[in-house]
Amino acid sequence: MNLHSRFTFSVKMLKPRVLTEVLAQVTMDGVESSFLFKVDGTLIAHYCLNSSPTDPRVGSAIASNIWSIYHKNGRGSLDEDKLQMVLMENQGGRIVIKHVNNLVICLCSNTSVELGMLTKKCDALVEYLQEPLSKVTL
């Protein structure tokens, strides 16, 4: 994946338009939407290929809730405090959710995208965003 180099941040300010452009670069080839949000579900940026009647804030709130439940249960029942990734599959598609600094990324795809490819796209996005997002205070 070749993400462009126009991704810039000031120390305390996100540029939503640039974030949306970065998310748009992974939202293709079966990946239908991508979200970047706070752990509490507050949507920071998103990109969807098709116009959806559902508010993107609803999607980020649901993904945040899923992330929080698995993170909490992993700490309590598995004696593990570092959830790496959540992968989900249903009749309509596949979802991958991953933590990056103090934010969470969610990619949603149709069933034509293999989980491995969706995971690789998410990993590439996390790697690309890791350093710039570490400079942002939210």
Q: What is the pLDDT of residue 11?
A: 39
Return the domain boundaries, the chain: 16-134
Q: Which has the closest alpha carbon to 136: 102, 99, 97?
A: 102
Q: Which amino acid is at 78?
A: L
Is CATH 3.30.450.30 what the domain over 16-134 is classified as, yes or no?
A: yes
pLDDT of 80 reads: 60
| Amino acid in position 63 | A
Digits of tens for pLDDT over the chain (138 positions)?
A: 445 444 444 435 567 788 889 999 998 889 988 999 888 888 888 898 876 656 677 777 788 888 787 777 766 666 566 777 888 888 888 999 998 888 889 999 999 999 999 999 999 999 999 888 887 766
Sheet order of strands, 31-38 included: 43-48, 31-38, 103-109, 93-100, 85-90
Look at residue 6 in the predicted model and tell me its pLDDT.
47
The tokens for 61 are 């709130």
The pTM (predicted TM-score) of the whole model is 0.79
Q: Where are the alpha helices (DSSP H) in 6-135?
A: 16-26, 56-77, 115-134
